[in-house]
């Protein structure tokens, strides 16, 4: 199938669930991300591969600013702020340059302007407003100064799991795990006028009507984007979806869309009738699967679980043999990969690890946590790990913040440009 010469109707069909098998394209080869080829010669991914400039931001430590960042926390960047949300705690806001603690956003509770979980929030890259979940169809909207603007209620497509993106007061929602009642995969909804602008209708009828037999949550692990689920249907097939790692993302002024079970990254101009293929992941023999597959069929397949885009590269994570439940129960983790695709020269590196080597300073390996709308990759170091690494760095090479770091200090955020 020639994915790059796809028509609109085929684009919509692809989003219903078909991972490509590495077929050739009539377009330029710099839009093909040749994963199968890169897996033949895995290469170590270094910090210098993913960014030219690195900024370390030690978060101010006070009684009111203490945060515990883990893979189940949520960390996002505004233009000038770092926001960190954790379960059962209000969202904390820090200055992006200095790490100075600024404020909390709202309060934990059930009253007006309150919310139950500080980890469930998104930001609007255009307005810089903060959308905090009250329930799956209701959000408090705060300004970055912490003021409650309003509370909105809206409709989302029906599904087991739905993931949102808020952009310029427009909600882009995508059903990552459909249900038998699902009639469309995605909707574009104007939050100002409370009207649906467009929808991507379900174009096939292969959603299993069987009952759900098992749901396995992945509450942490950055490679899943946070709060993801693996679900088994009674017909013995499995599927996977994420709540906080949306198929939609905003890069600069472009809107991207990639479903887990489709090999193509689309750019959406104004509506679903104007979707253009931008990148294709060529998985070759490691691809070729649908939204619902058996454990045996997926034993050697690679699922791309997360994509983060910057000015120069596309960073992605993959997992092999995901649906082998016994391996998860025995903590015999399946093969997990990270990869980078250079948008400038078309080169690609893939490595069987989730960690990237810091080759700029003798700090521990790290994993990518998130990306900002401006293309800044975000990572995090716990204070104790840097204190241990400090012992092997000459004092003359240590920045002042590292010299003064204490074990009970807040984490240090790494911003990679």
Q: What is the mean pLDDT of residues 102-108?
A: 96
User: Any bridge partners for residue 304, and if so which?
Assistant: 318
pLDDT digit string, tens, across residues 135-190: 989 999 999 999 999 999 998 888 988 999 999 999 999 999 988 888 899 999 99
pLDDT of residue 207: 79
Rounded Cα–Cα distance for residues 323 and 229 (Å): 11
Model pTM greater than 0.85? yes
Identify the H or E element spanning 230. strand 228-233
Both tokens assigned to 199: 């929808």
Rounded Cα–Cα distance for residues 193 and 213 (Å): 40
Rounded Cα–Cα distance for residues 370 and 324 (Å): 27
Name the average pLDDT for the chain.
89
User: Any bridge partners for residue 276, and if so which?
Assistant: 267
Q: What is the mean pLDDT of residues 78-89?
A: 93
- CB 85 within 8 Å of CB 119: yes
Three-class secondary structure of residue 403 per DSSP: helix
Both tokens assigned to 371: 């990306």
State the sign of the Cα–Cα–Cα–Cα dihedral 313, 24, 318, 8: positive
User: Any bridge partners for residue 391, and if so which?
Assistant: none
Rounded Cα–Cα distance for residues 7 and 342 (Å): 27
Any idea how long the chain is? 417
Task: Average the pLDDT over each of 138-142, 232-236, 265-269 and give the range with the smallest value.
Answer: 232-236
pLDDT of residue 226: 67
């Amino acid at each position: 199938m020639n994915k790059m010469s796809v028509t609109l109707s085929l684009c919509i069909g692809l989003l219903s669930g078909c991972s490509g098998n590495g077929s050739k394209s009539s377009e330029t080869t710099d839009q093909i991300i040749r994963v199968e080829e890169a897996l033949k010669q895995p290469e170590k991914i270094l910090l210098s591969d993913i960014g030219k400039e690195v900024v370390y931001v030690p978060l101010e430590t006070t009684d009111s600013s203490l945060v515990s960042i883990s893979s189940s926390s949520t960390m996002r960047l505004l233009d000038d702020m770092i926001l960190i949300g954790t379960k059962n705690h209000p969202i904390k806001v820090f200055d992006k340059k200095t790490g100075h603690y600024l404020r909390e956003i709202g309060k934990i509770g059930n009253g007006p302007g309150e919310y139950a979980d500080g980890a469930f929030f998104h930001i609007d890259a255009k307005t810089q407003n903060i959308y905090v979940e009250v329930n799956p169809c209701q959000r408090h909207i705060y300004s970055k100064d912490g003021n409650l603007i309003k509370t909105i209620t809206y409709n989302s497509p029906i599904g087991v799991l739905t993931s949102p993106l808020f952009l310029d007061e427009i909600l882009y929602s995508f059903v990552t795990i459909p249900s038998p009642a699902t009639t469309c995969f995605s909707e574009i909804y104007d939050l100002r006028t409370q009207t649906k602008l467009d929808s991507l209708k379900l174009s096939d009828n292969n959603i299993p009507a069987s009952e759900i037999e098992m749901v396995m949550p992945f509450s942490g692990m950055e490679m899943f984007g946070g709060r993801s689920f693996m679900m088994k249907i009674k017909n013995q097939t499995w599927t996977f979806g994420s709540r906080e790692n949306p198929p939609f993302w905003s890069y600069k002024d472009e809107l991207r869309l990639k479903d887990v079970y489709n090999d193509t990254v689309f750019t959406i101009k104004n509506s679903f009738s104007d979707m253009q293929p931008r990148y294709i992941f060529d998985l070759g023999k490691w691809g070729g699967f649908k939204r619902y597959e058996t454990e045996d069929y997926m034993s050697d397949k690679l699922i791309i679980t997360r994509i983060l885009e910057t000015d120069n590269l596309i960073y992605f994570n993959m997992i092999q043999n995901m649906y082998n439940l016994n391996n998860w129960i025995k903590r015999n983790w399946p093969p997990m990969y990270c990869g980078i695709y250079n948008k400038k020269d078309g080169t690609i590196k893939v490595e069987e690890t989730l960690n990237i080597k810091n080759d700029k300073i003798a700090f521990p390996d790290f994993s990518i946590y998130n990306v900002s709308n401006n293309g800044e990759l975000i990572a995090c170091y716990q204070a104790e790990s840097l204190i241990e690494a400090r012992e092997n760095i000459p004092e003359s090479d240590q920045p002042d913040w590292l010299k003064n770091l204490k074990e009970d200090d807040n984490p240090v955020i790494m911003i990679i440009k």
